[in-house]
Structure formats: structure tokens, C-alpha cells
Structure 1
Amino acid sequence: MLPMDNCLPKDHKQAQKVLNGLGLGYEKIHACKNNCMLFYKEHESLDTCPICNESRFKMTSQNRTTKIPQKVMRYLPLKPRLQRLYMSTHTATDMRWHKEKQVDDDVMRHPVDGEAWKEFDRTFPEFAADPRNVRLGLATDGFNPYGVLNQQHSTWPIFVFPYNLPPWKCMKKEYMMMTVLIIEDPGRSIDVYLRPLVDELKDLWTNGVRTYDKSTGKMFTLRAAVMWTVNDFPAYAMVSGWSTKGYMACPVCKEDVTSGWHAGKVCYLGHRRWLPWDHEWREKDKEFDGNTERRLIPREWSGDEILDQLNRLDFAPFGKTVSRVRPSTHMN
């Protein structure tokens, strides 16, 4: 099919070697069949899941020299791909766009113009001092790669996006970095599969990684932070740990949500709480649920308060065989 003097790899194995040399390889991490845990770090040498006692490997012939794992997760390391952003002069310059070329004129063109970015800079001035430090967004969702609607299968890729780049580049597919590929629906155990990424992100935040900046010709310590996540509402429940269905499905109102059962469905009421105090609709009862509305807007919880609440929860072990504690029922 190709001319004799082509430079393409001869086979799939040779192509993998090229990709690995460019830092585009991935790690295979074995997982428990029931999504209880990864055979990773302190559990790397185990042959049986300590939570459900399920075997790590499939039952195969006695003569087979290699063992076949029950389930495998693909992890694509983030550090080498962030370092590659600074191997090109043009890309390295664009990674400082949010600091050097952004125009502050009260027009929202890029996340740097938003209050969340500015508040982050005020909270962590040391991180903000070097514009080369990377601000990341994380997104995930499940899809059926076979396109068969009645087949119960979903694949979950997890992407990160470098928001340092200008708005005409930061959302281009060339800069989307897939970090985790979960071949089977993780259910409520997505935390298990996120552990390698979380570990790497923690190290990037605390220690960073030495990186060569082509635009300046000098080495620097690259750090990174996840600014926000981008999900639809069902995936939001999986990533955040807050149930988005049932009587307490609102992650903003939390236990102060107003909900009830009507016509076979859970309905969410109480929206008049956000109206001005003297709004005429607050006094109307027959037009709504039969009650006047005298309550104030639900309080806003800080990140530290939410983290403190999560730390007080007694979560059940991960996995399909054990029922998991729902945060929305234990926040009360």
C-alpha cells in the first residue's frame, strides 16, 4: 500500500516504541473486577482484592506463562505532556498569554476574565507569580463506543485542558489531554480510577516538575492546579460524590433543598426564595404550592466547609458488591 522508501513504522510494536519515545505512551494498571481498588502502589504485588477477595487474574490454562488481568485501566501520565507544551517557542509564549496579553476591560473572553480565576490568584499569590504554571480544567463523561443503544456498556475518558492558552487555542482538540481511559462503566467507584491522576496532580501542585522553557532557554519548576471540572449533571454526581437524584439532588442547596413527590416523580420547589424580598410572587400561594414564601436564599458553603463535611462522613468500601454511603443522606 505504501512506497518502499516510506518512513512509517513497520508494525504496531514499532509504532508503540516511537510513541513511547515521544512521551505518548500509557501505563496499564490492573483493577479489581468489582471496581473495589486498583492494584497500584501499595497493592501492586497482590493477586487478590483485599475488599471482595476477587482474583486479580482470569482463570487460564496451567501451561500459560502470562496471566491475563480481569480488568485493566489505561493511564496516560500528565507531566511529560505538560512539559512538551514548553518545547516549542510559539506554544511556550502562548502559555503566558493569560498574564502578558490579556486585556482587562470587563469583557468575558476567557476564564482569566472571570472572578474565579482572580480569586484563585489572590488566594495563592506564589502560584500566580509565575504565569507558566498551568491552570487545568478536568472533564469526563461516559459514552457507548459501539453506538448500540440497547447494549449496557460505556467507556469513560477523562480529559484535562490547559487554560493558560489564548481562547482560540485552549479548547482545540490538539491541546486536549486524555489522562485516564476507563473501559467499563465505573459506577460510583470512579474515585478508584482517578487515584493515579489525583496523585500526579498533588505532586504537580506541591513539588512541580523541572521543565525546559524553549522561549527563554532556561529551566523552571512547572506547577499545575485544577481550577474546575466540566461535566453534565449525572457525571457531576460521580465526580463530586453528591447524589444528583432523589429528594436532595441539588448540590447548591444541599440539605436545605425543597422537594416533594408528585405524579410519580420527585419535584423541586422553593425557587421563589431567590426573588427580591418585596417581590409580589412571594405573597402568592394559590398560584404556586399553596404557601407564601418567607425564607431567605440558602447560605453559600465555602470549599473548606464542604471538605470538612466530607471528612466527617463514614464512606463504605468501593465496589459493586458493597452498598455505598450516599453523602446527600448523611449531611443532615
Structure 2
Amino acid sequence: MRKIPDKSWIDILRCERFRDQRYRDGCEAFMKYAEMNPKNLSSGAMYCPCYRCKNMKLKNKDEIRSHIANSGFYEEYKYWSYHGEGCTENEVPDVHVDTSHGVRIDDTDINLQTDIGPDYTEYDINNDNEYDIIVDVQDAHAPEDLDRIMKLLEDSENDLYQGCTEYSRFSFMLELLHIKSLSGMANTYFEMLLVLLRKVVPGGERSIPKTTYAAKQIVSDLGLDYNKIDACPNDCILYYKDNKDLQECPTCGVSQWKQQTRSSTRQPTESMSQQSMILAKVLRHFPLVSRLQRLYMNKDTTENMRWHKEDRIEDGKLRHPADAEAWKHIDKTFPNFAHECRNVRLGLSSDGFNPFGVKSSAYANLSGCSTKGKFACPVCGPEFEGLHLPYSRKCCYWFNRRWLPSGHKYRKLINKFDGTVETRNKPRQMTGADIVKLLEHLPKIRFGKNRYSKYESLKARGSCKKKKTLKRKRAF
């Protein structure tokens, strides 16, 4: 049975740490506790909790002791999840430093604790095997998050009207906005629908908002918003971090702004020109962390997120990405990551996924290789070939007998295929070195589309409409 050491020494002021014996004893107690972690790697390496590493680097025991002695212990790391706290049921805490109080959303406790640093959410297991969302109270955003959760909880418990058991106020607005998104309904028509529902639904004037903005505010507490990032019109760069103060692209020289033309002959003032500045292109970024956190807030989705580790049957059949070789390779390469069933793996699938709008080019864009013509297979490379049909002007991939075993009867059948005997083996799959060798003679590629030049001004939408030219009548 492991005993959780006293953690009060972590709060000792930094200027007094290295001369305080209680701090040194606490660091040594932490090391003994971490060495007894049943999830330690066979190599003996552990995550270093010093102020510089902050549990982001694996070190051996001597290096960790040296780092803590020189840099100090990371004071916001008070729940030792990286060193085994919470992974055994028989742990007995010596002194509780928990200053939290809990709320519950959908049978899931949310405990606010002094935990492991700002802008980080840790998922822990309590004695009932239910997942707690632990939010750092030292983070400046924690009170706002608590207010959001409490408001979300209040809306999810309020009925749409008295006696309604199917929908709450929150779920009803979420369903309406979902329909609006799928149908492409304009805000004007959506607000007309809201006005009608306010009259029809009992107590609708209290539970249903008037405007689209107010309806979105109800579900905005889910935290599933997006961030707007300015982009170059030629897709060269994003005006982000080091480039956020630039006014034009350093690669192609195109301005970040469109020019708003004015019908007035008066000279525009500086304030007028600033108000008329319109961004040429905007990227919408959907943060992933907040969406993953919301999946763990619900008891049902939490169980589904852990299914691959807890309930999946391993019978050698491929039913889930966890049965694939890529998943197993990650398990072998990062055993500490694979041991925790709540860790999330991200993958991109091209099967039925069409991010670029053109179905014939979705796989080509993902692989960076042509999927048409005589060399249509990115896996086989130059050894793959196709047969061009002159009358239909299409390519036919007729040489699939190369993949059959060497003694297969179809290799010698002449009448059933193209009149030849297939003696070749299947094409050799290209390695990374082969791909680099093929691409080393290509000219240097500059990212971007080159749709605009720095010498032409970007016009705002609708400011320079061209006259529609009529089609020439067909002469018979």
C-alpha cells in the first residue's frame, strides 16, 4: 500500500526553499513515492517535475534529483498523475491539500483542485471508477469556466415548458441550431421561426430567445467556438505569432487587406480609411482540446472513449483502429502513453472523407501524388503502369495479375485476359529513401497559389462587379 506524502512543502516560497529542511525532505519523499509507481517504465525513466521540465521530459532518477535541487519543484504540480497518483485503489493520503468543492454534470463529478498548471485539464479516476474533470483554480480562467458550467447545468435542467419531458431549454435550442446549420437557413428566416415558436410554445417568451445571436449564446457555454486567424490571400502564411503585426505577406508581397472603393468624391479621412479595411482572407481554427474535454464530461461518451482499452475483444480481426498495425506500433514505441486508456490518438482517414470538395482528388491531395494516368498508385510508384484506351480516352489498370502468387493458374490464362502470360512479381513498395531520390531533382516549391500579385489591389466583394457576358448563339 503506497502512502501519498505530505504536499504542503510545495507551497514554500521559492526564496526560502533551498534552506528549508522541510522542502528537502519533501522532495526526497516525492522521489521515494515516484519510484514505487507501478506504471514506471522498464528503463527506470520518469517524467521530471522540475520547474524547467514540467513533466515534459523523461529523465533517470539521478537527473531528476539534480534538476529539482537546481531548478526547484514545479509548484503547480500538486496532483502527481505522472508519477502514479490515482492508479492504485489502496493509496492513503497523508495530508489533503484539496481546497475544492464539486458539482455534477450528467452523473460526472467536476472537482476544482489545485492541480498541474494553467490551461491544462487532467482526467482522474475516483473510487467509483467515474471520471473527474480537474481544473486548476490558480488559472485565471477557472472562475469563468465554473460560471459557464453552472449556467450550462441550469439550462440543461430547465424544461422547455412545464410538463415537457422530451426537451430542455438547452437541448431544444441545440436541435434548432443544428437544423439551421444543415439546411443553410439564413438568420432572417431563423428569427422568423423563433418568433413563431415564442407564440406557439407555452411560456415561449421566457424560454425561447428572439434573435439568432441570443440563441447561439445559450449553447456557447459548451466551449466549442472557433478562432479567427488572418491569412494571406495566396495561402503563403498566417498572420499569427511572429507575423501578427505584418500588413503584407513577406513571401508574395500581397496586402493583408482588401480595398473598399467609395462612390463619394470627398477625400476620405484617416478614421474612415481604417473603418473600411476588410481582411482579404480569414482562417477559422477549431480548437481540439476543448472538444476532447467535452467528450469526457459526459458519462456515456467517456465510456465510449475508453472502449478500445477496456471492452474491445482482441481476436485477431480488424474491427477497430486499435486492431491495426499502426495502433500497435504506437503501443510498442510509447508504452507509457499506451498504458493510459484515456489518452487520445488522432488519425486521418481518406475513406469517404472529402475535405477538398472534389471526390476524385481527395486521396491525391492527402498523398501528395497523382491518382490518375499511368502512374496512379502512390504506393507502387514508377513501377505501376496503366493501359490507355484510345477510344474511350481513359486509363485501364489491367495488370492486377502481378499480385497473384507465382504459381497461380490465372497467370498463364491467355484467353481470359490480355493475351499474355504474366511472369512479373508485384511492384516493390517504395521506401522513404526512394521517394527522396525521386524528388531531389524537382525545383524548390514555394507554398501558395499565386492567384494575386503585389501590384494589383484586392477589391472588396461587390465593389467591382463585371458585366455578365451573354453566350454566343449557336449557328446551325
If the TM-score is normalised by the length of the shorter chain, which range does it land in? Answer: 0.5 to 0.7
- 1:268 corresponds in structure 2 to 397
More RCO (CA 8 Å, sep 6+): 1
Describe how 1:108-147 pairs up with structure 2 within 5 A: 108-138=318-348
Contact 2:222 2:294 in 1 (8 A): no
- 1:68 corresponds in structure 2 to 278
Tell me how far 1:42 sits from its aligned partner: 3.0
Q: Do structure 1's residue 32 and structure 2's residue 32 form an aligned pair?
A: no
Helix, strand or coil at the partner of 1:91: helix
Matched AA of 1:250: C
- Separation in 1 of the partners of 2:380 and 2:218? 51
* Structure number with higher strand proportion: 1
Greater Rg by CA: 2
Could you tell me the TM-score, scaled by structure 2's length? 0.43
- 2:251 corresponds in structure 1 to 51
Aligned equivalent of 2:363, options 227, 236, 258 = 236
Tell me how far 1:92 sits from its aligned partner: 2.2
Listed one character per residue, the Cα deviations across residues 34-57 of structure 1 (whole Å, up to 9, x for unaligned) are: 333333333332222333332222
Percent identity for Structure 1 against Structure 2: 44
Helix, strand or coil at the partner of 1:73: strand
- Separation in 1 of the partners of 2:367 and 2:449? 19
Helix, strand or coil at the partner of 2:315: coil
- Tell me: CA distance 1:262–1:30, structure 2 relative to 1, closer, same or farther (3 Å): same
Q: Paired residues, what number? A: 238
Matched AA of 2:371: T
- Separation in 2 of the partners of 1:278 and 1:26? 58
Helix, strand or coil at the partner of 1:138: coil
- Separation in 1 of the partners of 2:219 and 2:241? 25
- Separation in 2 of the partners of 1:310 and 1:58? 41
Listed one character per residue, the Cα deviations across residues 239-270 of structure 1 (whole Å, up to 9, x for unaligned) are: 22111123221112111112243312233342
Helix, strand or coil at the partner of 1:134: coil
Helix, strand or coil at the partner of 2:235: coil
- Tell me: CA distance 1:35–1:17, structure 2 relative to 1, closer, same or farther (3 Å): same
Helix, strand or coil at the partner of 1:266: strand
Helix, strand or coil at the partner of 1:281: helix
- Separation in 1 of the partners of 2:352 and 2:243? 27
- 2:178 corresponds in structure 1 to none
Matched AA of 2:338: A
Listed one character per residue, the Cα deviations across residues 90-109 of structure 1 (whole Å, up to 9, x for unaligned) are: 32233211111112234444
- 2:424 corresponds in structure 1 to 295
- Separation in 1 of the partners of 2:352 and 2:424? 38
Residue ranges of structure 2 left out of the alignment (5+ in a row): 1-194, 263-267, 452-476
Tell me how far 1:87 sits from its aligned partner: 1.7
- Tell me: CA distance 1:306–1:97, structure 2 relative to 1, closer, same or farther (3 Å): farther
Matched AA of 2:370: S
Provide the alpha-carbon RMSD of the alignment.
Answer: 3.5
- Separation in 1 of the partners of 2:357 and 2:313? 42
- Separation in 2 of the partners of 1:96 and 1:300? 35
- Separation in 1 of the partners of 2:296 and 2:323? 24
Tell me how far 1:309 sits from its aligned partner: 6.2
- Separation in 1 of the partners of 2:419 and 2:324? 40
- Tell me: CA distance 1:20–1:45, structure 2 relative to 1, closer, same or farther (3 Å): farther
- Tell me: CA distance 1:289–1:140, structure 2 relative to 1, closer, same or farther (3 Å): closer
Contact 1:35 1:186 in 2 (8 A): no
Tell me how far 1:186 sits from its aligned partner: 8.9
* Structure number with higher helix proportion: 2
Helix, strand or coil at the partner of 1:39: coil
Listed one character per residue, the Cα deviations across residues 264-306 of structure 1 (whole Å, up to 9, x for unaligned) are: 223334211111101233234565445432221222346x557
- Separation in 1 of the partners of 2:288 and 2:324? 26
- Separation in 1 of the partners of 2:380 and 2:360? 15
Contact 1:285 1:292 in 2 (8 A): yes
Contact 1:16 1:25 in 2 (8 A): no
- 1:96 corresponds in structure 2 to 306
